[in-house]
Amino acid sequence: MTTLGDRLRSERMRFKLNQTDFASIGGVGKNMQYKYEQNKGVPDATYLIKLSNFGVNINWVLLGSLNPEEEKNALTPLMALGIDNKELIGIPLYVIKEEGNRNERPELVYFPRSWFIKNQLPSMDVVVVVNQGDAMSPHIKDNDWVLADTQRKNVGNGGAIVFRLGHCVLVNNLQPQGNVLLVSGFNRIFQPYTLDVSSTEIDFEIVGRVITSLNKW
């Protein structure tokens, strides 16, 4: 059975990169890359996200499986996969469900548990969301991954909110103004607009309040 370090080295070799160049992609030094490949250190979320953005198969690196269905859904509990759930934690990836598929369990994105502890972040009732749009740039950019607390859906007070508008998942500031919501952002180019969420013609859902952008770490 291969180790995480073995699989990480295999992915590096697939891209035909030496340890120095591969390490720079992940934002670490060559010595740290060596430790990861020798199983003498556990990669953190920042490193894994950067490699994932480059094209590294992070699900395989973490889970050790190339089974397409397993990789697509990541449904089996960590212990059933032979992974110590003290080391990794699976956070659901928020996706827009198609009609008729409401009962499907969510895909999980796995992170080192220590990352949540180190940054004092909650891990319950949290989802990973891929932001669409650059309204919140430079703080949250297009395609950035963010963590959202699904138990905190109150708008206002300047907090960034993840919401779904039709088939788009967006991060914006939402401020109540009478019977509508004012949608605004940090990007000066972005023009604020209002949403009448009481209208039956608008397919709108608040996912939760942003906890952090994963690219921040």
- The pLDDT tens digits of the residues spanning 6-37 come to 889 888 888 889 999 999 999 999 999 999 99
pLDDT of 165 over the 50 cut: yes
Find the range with the poorest average confidence among 108-112, 141-145, 161-165: 108-112
The more confidently predicted of residues 16 and 60 is 16
pLDDT of 199 over the 50 cut: yes
Q: Which residue has the tokens 């209208």?
A: 199
Smallest CA-to-CA distance from 58 within 107, 94, 124 is with 107
Print burial letters for 37-57: b (CB count within 10 Å at least 16), e (below 16).
beeeebbbbbbbbbbbeeebb
The mean pLDDT of 180-205, rounded to a whole number, is 90
Whole-number Å distance between alpha carbons of 79 and 86: 10
pLDDT of 204 over the 70 cut: yes
Residue 106 pLDDT: 66
Confidence tier at 68 by pLDDT (50, 70, 90): very low
In sequence order, the 6+-apart residues with CB closer than 8 A to the CB of 209 are: 148, 149, 152, 153, 154, 159, 160, 161, 162
Q: For 127-216, which CATH class? A: mainly beta
Domain with CATH 1.10.260.40 in the chain: 4-118
The mean pLDDT of 188-208, rounded to a whole number, is 90
The mean pLDDT of 150-167, rounded to a whole number, is 88
Q: Is the pTM of this model over 0.85?
A: no
Which of 41-50, 160-169, 208-217: highest mean pLDDT? Answer: 160-169
The mean pLDDT of 81-91, rounded to a whole number, is 61
The mean pLDDT of 135-139, rounded to a whole number, is 89
pLDDT of 173 over the 90 cut: yes
The more confidently predicted of residues 98 and 184 is 184
Smallest CA-to-CA distance from 48 within 112, 98, 107 is with 112
Backbone angles phi, psi at 205, to 5 degrees: -150, 130
Q: Which two tokens stand for residue 213?
A: 């952008």
Type of residue found at 211: I
On whether the 4-118 domain is CATH 1.10.260.40, my answer is yes
Residue 64 pLDDT: 66
pLDDT of 80 over the 50 cut: no
Across all residues in the chain, what is the average pLDDT?
Answer: 80
Q: Which two tokens stand for residue 98?
A: 């198609």
Q: What percent of the chain has pLDDT over 90?
A: 30
